[in-house]
Amino acid sequence: MSQNYQPTTFKRLPDVIKNLIIINGLFFLGTIVLRNFGIDLIDKLGLWLPGSPQFAPYQFVTHMFLHSVSNVGHVFMNMFMLWMFGNMLENMWGAKRFLTFYMVTGLGAGILYTAVHYAEAMYLQGQLVSAGMSQSDLMNLVTTSRYNSDILNSVGMDVIRNYYLAFNTPVIGASGAVYGVLMAFGMLFPNVKIYIYFLFPVKAKWMVLGLGAIEFFQGFQADGSNVAHFAHLGGMLFGYLLIKYWQKKGEMGRPM
């Protein structure tokens, strides 16, 4: 049997989702305001790659509460999707289980993204070392973007640029955790109809499979975008594994 899903209003939202939306909104406004005082929250709290001078372990948590201030749609879409799909999950699980799920999937998103991009950076580093770069040369490239012109002739600008960007581009956003919420919704309410662009009805399970496939294929393509595809996949993967773990223990529908 199929169902049509209509999310609730903001006033009727369960506590965790409401507070997550408020916290993300406050961080968004705080990022804008503090920049006027020379403080960049993204530099401090965004997730940098290990090996970057700006990396800190706490960023695996803090990055999921930050969003690009140059793109209001970034925070709006993440919070809209959290509102739309998280409501039924928190009402079923309770606040503690839903918050646990959200944080685990957000952490998982950061972990997978970091693992994949660190491996890519190490591959690029191998090419640079083979071309004659020393460890001090590599650090100089990461911190100042300077390099020996002979290296450029040996490996090409793409390798140099991509290595520099790997350690100088933080990942931010709640998307990984939100994609985990999407995965949970698709697994637990597979036949609920979701209206894409409010017009085209698609069952939740097909929407989730489609989004996962898109993120997987785009993750292996240099599409030139700033989208962290492997963070999305990390959220979905950790969400899937956590739900399977809870199902195995017979705790899926039981609030913590």
CATH code for the domain in which residue 25 is found = 1.20.1540.10
Answer whether residue 7 shows pLDDT above 70. Answer: no
Residue type present at position 49: L
Q: What is the pLDDT of residue 206?
A: 84
Q: What is the pLDDT of residue 2?
A: 43
In the chain, what is the greatest distance between 2 CA atoms, to the nearest angstrom?
Answer: 66
Q: 33: how many CB neighbours lie within 10 A of its CB?
A: 11
Find, among 162, 218, 150, 170, the residue nearest to 53 by Cα. Answer: 170
Q: Measured between alpha carbons, how far is residue 124 from residues 15, 100, 140 in Å?
A: 45, 36, 15
213 assigned to some structural domain: yes
222 assigned to some structural domain: yes
15 band by pLDDT with thresholds 50, 70 and 90: very high
107 assigned to some structural domain: yes
Answer whether residue 27 shows pLDDT above 80. Answer: yes
Count of the separate structural domains present in the chain: 1
Distance of CA 173 to the CA centre of its chain: 6
184 assigned to some structural domain: yes
DSSP state of 174: S
147 assigned to some structural domain: no
Find, among 210, 254, 212, 255, the residue nearest to 232 by Cα. Answer: 212
Q: 75: how many CB neighbours lie within 10 A of its CB?
A: 24
Residue 111 sits in which domain range?
13-117+171-248
38 assigned to some structural domain: yes
Looking up tokens 């799909």 gives 85
Q: Which residue has the higher pLDDT, 67 or 212?
A: 67
136 assigned to some structural domain: no
Q: 239: how many CB neighbours lie within 10 A of its CB?
A: 28
Q: What is the pLDDT of residue 5?
A: 45
140 assigned to some structural domain: no
The mean pLDDT value for 145-152 works out to: 78
Beta bridge partners of 195: 201
